[in-house]
Amino acid sequence: MKRIAMLLLNFIFCLTCLTACAAESDDSFILTLQIGNPNMTINGIEKPIDENGTAPILSEEGRTLLPVRAVVEEMGGAMAWDSETQTVLLGYKENVIVLEIDNHTAYLNESSHELDVAPVIINDRTMLPIRFIAEGLEFDVEWDGDTQTVTITPKNEEV
């Protein structure tokens, strides 16, 4: 219990520091990801998703999974990982998401939600469902099936 409390306190501190900077850049934020491409594009600038060259994948259920740390941080949020419980905490502004590996139940601001696909670990990378996360953090998500591209923008912003 003490470990989880410390993790939450550290997470809240990081979240507070990051979201103060994020508020300024929300109005022009456009992030795109493509299945199989280890890079993401933020406002036209291409960056690697992670240092291992991990690319987004489609799950058997047809959901986009990816290592989300870089994506959430580019959105202005924060992420914490508890390897002992295999739990991920994500946050942006007042929203907090808690996900556990191989568990279809996720929590958004303490309300439980059933996921179509559970978070998994593939090649030592924690792969999470991006739509639930982005929408939970109040971003819009567009899917282009022809190009297998995900576009993430702040809510109510037209692409």
Tens digits of per-residue pLDDT, 80-128? 999 999 999 999 999 999 999 999 999 999 999 999 999 999 998 999 9
What's the CATH code of the domain at 132? 3.30.457.10
Q: What pLDDT shows up at residue 12?
A: 55
pLDDT of residue 53 exceeding 50 = yes
Phi (first) and psi of residue 110, to 5 degrees:
75, 0
The two three-digit tokens of residue 48, written as one number: 């690697």
Q: What pLDDT shows up at residue 11?
A: 56
pTM of structure:
0.81
* Number of domains present in the structure of the chain: 1
Q: Rounded to whole angstroms, what are the CA distances from 60 to 118, 119, 120?
A: 11, 13, 12
pLDDT of residue 156 exceeding 80 = no
Residue 159 lies in a domain: no
Residue 130 lies in a domain: yes
Compute the average pLDDT of residues 40-57.
Answer: 95
Q: Which domain holds residue 67?
A: 2-154
Task: Give the residue among 73, 66, 78 at the shortest CA–CA distance from 122.
Answer: 66
Tens digits of per-residue pLDDT, 26-40? 458 999 999 999 999
